[in-house]
Amino acid sequence: MSAVAKLPATTGPTVAIVNPNAQSGGAEETWKTLRETMRIRFPGLRARYTEAPEHATWLCREALEAGASTIISVGGDGTTNEVLGGFVDPETGRNRFPEATLAVLAAGTGGDFQRMWGRSSLSRQVDRLCAAEARRVDYGVARYVGRDGEPKLRPFLNVASVGVSGDVVRRVNDSDAQLGPTLKYLLGTLQGISGWRNVQVEVRRDEGPKRRVDLTLGIVANGQYFGAGMWVCPDAAIDDGAFDCVEVTGMSRRTLVATLAKVFDGRHLRVRGVEHGRARSVEMRPVWDQAVVPIEVDGEPVGQLPARFELQVDALRLRVG
């Protein structure tokens, strides 16, 4: 990741947004053990608990509109995604609060966003968060068709993906299996693959040509990891002004399973049928209008194609623990 200029510190209240439901409810206990330390390390810290999915977006927006300068997301990638949503204008996708900082304390299950810096204990994360300078990073904006059939916009900090992964994420999120995150994803992935059929999709990166592909999986990545530890875009950087894009096309279920074993150490990029590139915007639409091609954004199954992904460059102040 490239070095970045030091940004001036911001003053104003710090608000922690805690998803007690993250890590299958474990985040609530985690926060209780951290609360006092956090209050000492961040004087004047206020904590708000989410009460339902998407509540984090409202809490974050409310805090920012009231003048908060730092919002600490306490939960998993889904919580951070929803908190980011509070910074972003729901019509334009632009950051309405470019001088405020999003801080991340990873207390979720998969923790894919955090993996770029190495997974560490929460007490270590708190130390790192206190020491970390805010830096400007990019974030993605996905426009797609929501599960209710209406056009939707959702920002993402880590990875958005299309195809078999959308199905996998839905299965993982619906699963109540008491397995570790990687096993849960692996099981969901194998189930998703066994039910998946490739679909004809038209893809366009930036102003390039429209290409028709037999899509298995399309990745639009700001970060490097998804699927609880799959190192899908090893070269991605959140401050390099481009998405890393991976397309897996025309792959049989058998080859896909074999390729899966390679994605944990990044060797999948050398497999035939896996193409890798970079872009600031990506458009995808099914060739047959009626085809349902699912999308997931930061690990949340949000809707389906057609979709457009755009990068907001240097648009967010971020601190990571």
Ligand X SMILES: Nc1ncnc2c1ncn2[C@@H]1O[C@H](COP(=O)(O)OP(=O)(O)OP(=O)(O)O)[C@@H](O)[C@H]1O
Complex with ligand X: residue 186 or 203, whichever CB lies closer: 186
Q: How far is the CB of 49 from ligand X (least distance, A)?
A: 7
Separation of alpha carbons 115 and 247, rounded Å: 22
Separation of alpha carbons 304 and 151, rounded Å: 10
CA 262 from chain centre, in angstroms, equals: 21
Q: How many other C-beta atoms are found inside a 10 Å radius of the C-beta of residue 247? A: 25
Complex with ligand X: residue 37 or 173, whichever CB lies closer: 173
Q: How far is the CB of 130 from ligand X (least distance, A)?
A: 22
Residues 6 or more apart in contact with residue 317 via CB below 8 angstroms: 7, 10, 98, 99, 100, 101, 102, 134, 135, 136, 137
Q: How far is the CB of 182 from ligand X (least distance, A)?
A: 11
Q: How far is the CB of 203 from ligand X (least distance, A)?
A: 26
Are the beta carbons of 302 and 141 closer than 8 angstroms? no
Q: How far is the CB of 68 from ligand X (least distance, A)?
A: 19
Omega prior to 53 cis, within 30 of 0: no
Strands of 107-207 (E only): list them: 135-146, 151-156, 159-163, 199-205
Separation of alpha carbons 154 and 249, rounded Å: 25
Complex with ligand X: residue 283 or 298, whichever CB lies closer: 298
Separation of alpha carbons 96 and 79, rounded Å: 19
Q: How far is the CB of 118 from ligand X (least distance, A)?
A: 15
Complex with ligand X: residue 82 or 247, whichever CB lies closer: 82
Q: Which residue sits closest to ligand X, CB atoms considered?
A: 76
Complex with ligand X: residue 76 or 218, whichever CB lies closer: 76
Residues that bind ligand X (CB under 6 A): 19-23, 50-55, 75-79, 82, 108-111, 181, 299-300
